[in-house]
């Protein structure tokens, strides 16, 4: 991740050298370089407003961004919003006041950005969305959206589950651990998963609740669900950390994760992959946090006056237990 430089807005946590998910929402208008193009790389200043440090994925994402900027020799001002939209808005306004060349951020939630992004546009500062989308009718407020396809991730999780129960008509009771309420990955992964299983009347989501993308939240929600639901066959956790928390709750209840209760997660961070290799998770859909080099490439193109695509989707895969064992030794995160 990148080296943090500088100053943050009130309410936003300043992070130095510290430690995701993308959606189906359309990306911005793209193409406008903005700012003062053709600067020397070491004269470019980018303000990055991160969601927080809520998960292993986010920590890996932060580190990759900081490292990539350091390697490229581009100045990075970095803020940690601690999963609060008001902190991100404050950080973005601070970057505008500091007259940075570009602003990049991963929105905590989808809505409520038009005003502050309008301020950035008025100041002539291009905005790059990373990892998560915003829900705005005015796509001129940002130049591009870099990240995963969250709907596809949810669908791939559901498709795997359908395949596991193919030809069976017994009821399959599913509980869903949702991400942060109102965030793009929570909305879109839930949509994709629901679309994948809806043609199978024996499959039913019997409970769905937010664990806020954290391990502690996943454990807490799973503990409550184990008490309230007489029979749970499958857990769909919208990220690895919540799935890992669910494993703790399932084991504490005397059940065997991966056998008594199947577990599907999204991300493929190291701890999740290890649990998959150990048989405690059954299937993981990858959501790569390594967006730093692509973000640098976008900044370089805009600085050169070049246009960029309105939507840039990252390449990702899926993992079974055997595939996790094979991939783990060379896993970067």
Provide the CATH number for the domain around residue 22. 3.40.50.2300
Tokens of 151: 């709907």
- Domain match, 26 and 121 both: yes
- Give the closest residue to 309 by CA, choosing from 288, 289, 292, 294: 294
Predicted confidence at residue 40, as pLDDT, reads: 96
What tokens appear for 315 in the block? 């390449």
- Identify the pLDDT of residue 37: 67
Distance separating alpha carbons of residues 290 and 48, to the nearest angstrom: 15
The answer to whether residue 7 sits within a structural domain is no
162 and 99, same structural domain?
no
Asked if the structure places residue 323 within a domain, the reply is no
In a domain, 52, yes or no: yes
State the pLDDT at residue 291.
97
140 and 177 inside one domain:
no
Q: Does one domain contain both 37 and 133? A: yes
Question: How many structural domains is the chain composed of?
Answer: 2
**Average pLDDT per block of 10 residues along the chain, 333 residues long:** 36 33 36 62 97 94 97 98 97 98 97 98 97 95 97 98 96 98 96 98 98 98 97 98 98 98 97 98 97 97 95 95 96 87
Is position 327 within any domain?
Answer: no
Enumerate residues 6+ apart whose C-beta is below 8 A from 85: 107, 108, 109, 112
5 falls within a domain = no
pLDDT score, position 283:
98
Rounded-to-integer distance, Cα 145 and Cα 29, Å: 10
Q: What's the confidence (pLDDT) of residue 38?
A: 87
Could you list the residue range(s) of the whole structural domain that residue 184 is in? 150-287
- What are the E-state strand segments in the chain? 13-14, 45-50, 75-80, 102-105, 127-130, 144-147, 172-178, 203-210, 234-237, 262-267, 283-286, 311-313, 318-319
3-state percent helix, strand, coil for the chain, nearest multiple of 5 = 40, 20, 40
157 and 115 share a domain?
Answer: no
Whether residues 193 and 310 fall in one domain: no
Residue 189 placed within a domain: yes
Q: Are strands 262-267 and 283-286 parallel, antiparallel or unpaired?
A: parallel
Same structural domain, 230 and 180: yes
Tell me, yes or no, whether 161 and 77 share the same domain. no
Both 21 and 76 in a single domain? yes
Together in a domain, 277 and 177: yes
The predicted pLDDT at position 285 comes to: 98
């Amino acid at each position: 991740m990148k080296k943090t430089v500088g100053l943050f807005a009130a309410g936003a946590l300043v992070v130095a050298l510290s430690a995701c998910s993308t959606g189906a929402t359309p990306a911005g208008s793209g193409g406008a370089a903005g700012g003062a193009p053709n600067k020397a790389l070491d004269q470019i200043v980018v303000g990055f407003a991160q969601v927080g440090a809520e998960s292993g994925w986010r920590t890996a994402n932060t580190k990759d961004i900081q490292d990539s900027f350091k390697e490229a020799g581009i100045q990075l001002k970095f803020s940690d919003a601690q999963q609060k939209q008001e902190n991100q808005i404050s950080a973005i306004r601070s970057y505008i006041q500091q007259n940075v060349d570009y602003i990049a951020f991963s929105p905590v939630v989808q809505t409520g950005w038009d005003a502050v992004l309008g301020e950035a546009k008025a100041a002539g500062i291009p905005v790059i969305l990373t990892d998560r989308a915003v829900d705005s009718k005015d796509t001129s407020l940002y130049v591009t959206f870099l990240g995963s396809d969250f709907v596809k991730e949810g669908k791939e999780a559901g498709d795997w589950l359908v395949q596991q129960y193919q030809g069976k008509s017994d009821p399959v009771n599913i509980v869903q651990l949702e991400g942060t309420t109102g965030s793009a990955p929570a909305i879109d992964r839930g949509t994709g998963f629901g679309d994948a299983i809806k043609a199978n009347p024996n499959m039913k989501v019997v409970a769905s609740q937010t664990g806020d993308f954290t391990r502690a939240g996943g454990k807490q929600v799973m503990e409550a669900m184990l008490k309230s639901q007489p029979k749970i066959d499958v857990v769909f956790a919208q990220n690895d950390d919540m799935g890992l928390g669910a494993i703790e709750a399932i084991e504490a209840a005397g059940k065997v994760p991966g056998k008594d209760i199947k577990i599907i997660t999204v991300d493929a961070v190291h701890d999740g992959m290890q649990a998959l290799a150990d048989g405690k998770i059954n299937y993981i859909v990858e959501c790569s946090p390594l967006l730093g080099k692509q973000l640098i490439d976008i900044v370089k193109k805009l600085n050169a006056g070049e246009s960029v695509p309105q939507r840039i989707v990252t390449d990702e895969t899926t993992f079974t237990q055997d595939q996790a064992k094979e991939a783990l030794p060379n896993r970067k995160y």
